Structures are given as C-alpha cells and as structure tokens.
C-alpha cells in the first residue's frame, strides 16, 4: 500500500509540474538517491550478517605453562548464509585444542535442524573435542532433544551443569558448562554451579562456559580464570565510539556487550555471534567466530 501511495504522489507531482522540466529532473534525482541508499544499505547489511570475521584474542595466565587454543562459536541461530567450508578452513589453520559452542546454535523458531547439522558435521571433520552449552533458544525449543541426539551421534560433549577435566599440551584444564537458567531461577544456578565444580582441582586453569553474561558475577566462586559467553550479539546494531545500542536482559547501552571484561583475576569474554534473532540486521558489528590463545604470563 505504501508503494501505491508513493507512486500516486509522484504521478501527481509529475502531472502538476509537467511544464517545468527542472522539477522533473529534481524528482528523478531524489528517486535515484533513495534507490541508491536502499541498495547500499542492503549490500552493507548482507555483508554484516553473512561474511563472518575471525576475531583473534590473546590472554595470558600465570596458571599455564604452555599455550591453550580455543575456538569459540556462539549464537549461530541456524544462519544458513555462513560459508561453512571457509569456516572449516579458518579453524583448521588455527588448529585449536578444543572448540566450544556457547549456546543459541539453533533458533527458537526453527522447524528443522538442517543448518545446525551441517555446522556440526563441518566441525566434526576437524577431529577436535567439541563442548556445547545450552542457550535460551535451546531451552525453549521443542527440537532440543533431537539436537542433543545429533550431538551425541557426532560425539559433541554436552555440558549441562557439569564439568570435565582435560589434558591439553601437558596442562590440566577444567571446563564447566552451565545450561541456561531463566532469571526467575538464577538463584538456583549458584547451587548447580557449586555442585558442578565441587570435585575439581581448582588450582588448574578453569574455563566456565555460560551462554549469558548477565548477572554472572552473582555465581562466581573466585576461582574462574576465563568465562566464555555469547547471547548479546554485540547488540547487533552498534554505534561508533558508543558501542551496543541494546542487549537482551541489559536494556539500552549495556555494560556487557562484546569483547573482554576483567574482574580481579577473572576474564569474561563475550563473542558477538554468527547469527541474529528478532531481525537479520547488523551495523558496525559483523558476524564472527573467535580464536582464543591462552599463553603463559611473561
């Protein structure tokens, strides 16, 4: 309907000013500018939501003697625009010790799992241990049981309020994963977390996988070295010099949007994700994966 109204207005102006060639030229210029802007915005947004970047992160720690390399993938939201062959190549060149999936790999609106299965099969070809934690979209998705079956088939390790201790480059590493707990149940998360880590040697390097960074400070034991999260999408739309406009659970101009945040000896890293929810729109914030190197403190 809006297009019909615009056409009618242009037609009236054209007829009314048909004797004035200059008006017609100006009108054509305005239309040309509007069309050019629309095309530019479309091309720019398509690049932002489909052409993933690789973000390289380096963290030092006095608790490791050898490098630990982690690839983090978050908030895929079944984004079938992602070039998975290119991603496989990028990760293969980085050669991580482990791959972590920090939630919202599916979207709550999905009716099938094709895009996610393709992602899982791509990552499985890399022959790395893959660890998964649940996000809010998995928590409310009827297909989550089917998703878990696919992960088990491909030997992806699901962490739901539990932990694993692994050996990487002669280093013992604790990895704990918390499934998504709604705000009304966050008070229970402290109990689940303490139960998950009670048998760990916390003198090892400790990695916590938690989909949302919101209120993470409420559950910490003080022994966490690295927390890997997603959820925020970096705000999807960011403004230069300002950052994210809005993030779920934090409102406008959130504190925790993307990147590294430090609290004492604990580092929180938020990956802005490979997909989008609500609307496929991004600005100054392209989709990404993160290659993280934890190296000995010098």
Has residue 227 got a pLDDT over 90? yes
pTM of this prediction?
0.90
pLDDT for 28 equals 86
CA dist 183 → 190, 216, 227, 232 (Å): 12, 11, 19, 15
Q: Which of 3-7, 47-51, 149-153, 249-253 has the lowest mean pLDDT?
A: 3-7
Q: Is the pLDDT of residue 24 over 90?
A: no
- What is the band of 29 on the pLDDT scale with cuts at 50, 70, 90? confident
Q: Please give the pLDDT value at position 8.
A: 55
Please tell me the class of the 53-296 domain.
alpha beta
pLDDT score of 12: 53
Across the chain, mean pLDDT equals 91
User: At 278, is the pLDDT very low, low, confident or very high (cuts 50, 70, 90)?
Assistant: confident
* Overall average pLDDT of the 231-259 stretch: 93
- Parse the chain into domains and list their residue ranges: 2-47, 53-296
Q: pLDDT class for 26, splitting at 50, 70, 90?
A: confident
Residue 70 has pLDDT above 90, yes or no: yes
Give per-residue pLDDT as tens, 94-132: 999 999 999 999 999 999 999 999 999 999 999 999 999
Edge-to-edge strand order for the sheet containing 129-132? 53-61, 288-296, 68-73, 98-101, 129-132, 157-158
In the chain, the percentage of residues whose pLDDT exceeds 90 is: 78
Window from 152-161, 179-188, 218-227, 264-273 with minimum mean pLDDT? 179-188
Least confident range of 20-24, 158-162, 186-190: 20-24
């Amino acid at each position: 309907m809006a297009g019909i109204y615009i056409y009618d207005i242009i037609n009236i102006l054209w007829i009314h000013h048909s004797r004035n060639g200059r008006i017609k030229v100006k009108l054509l210029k305005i239309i040309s500018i509007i069309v050019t802007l629309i095309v530019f915005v479309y091309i720019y947004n398509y690049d932002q939501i489909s052409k993933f970047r690789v973000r390289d992160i380096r963290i030092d720690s006095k608790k490791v003697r050898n490098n630990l390399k982690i690839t983090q993938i978050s908030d895929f939201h079944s984004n079938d625009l992602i070039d998975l062959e290119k991603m496989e190549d990028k990760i293969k060149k980085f050669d991580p010790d482990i791959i972590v999936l920090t939630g919202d790999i599916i979207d709550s609106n999905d009716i099938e799992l094709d895009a996610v299965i393709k992602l899982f099969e791509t990552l499985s070809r890399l022959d790395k241990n893959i660890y998964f934690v649940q996000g809010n979209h998995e928590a409310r998705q009827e297909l989550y049981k089917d998703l878990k079956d696919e992960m088990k088939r491909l030997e992806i390790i699901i962490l739901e309020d539990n932990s694993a201790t692994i050996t990487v480059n002669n280093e013992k590493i604790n990895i704990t994963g918390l499934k998504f707990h709604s705000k009304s149940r966050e008070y229970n998360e402290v109990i689940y977390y303490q139960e998950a880590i009670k048998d760990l040697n916390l003198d090892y390097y400790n990695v916590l996988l938690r989909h949302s960074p919101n209120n993470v400070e409420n559950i910490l034991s003080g022994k966490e070295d690295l927390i890997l999260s997603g959820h925020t999408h970096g705000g999807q739309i960011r403004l230069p010099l300002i950052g994210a406009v809005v993030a779920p659970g934090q409102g406008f101009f959130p504190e925790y949007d993307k990147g590294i945040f430090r609290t004492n000896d604990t580092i929180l890293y938020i990956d802005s994700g490979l997909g989008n929810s609500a609307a496929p729109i991004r600005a100054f914030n392209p989709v990404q994966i993160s290659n993280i190197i934890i190296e000995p403190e010098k």
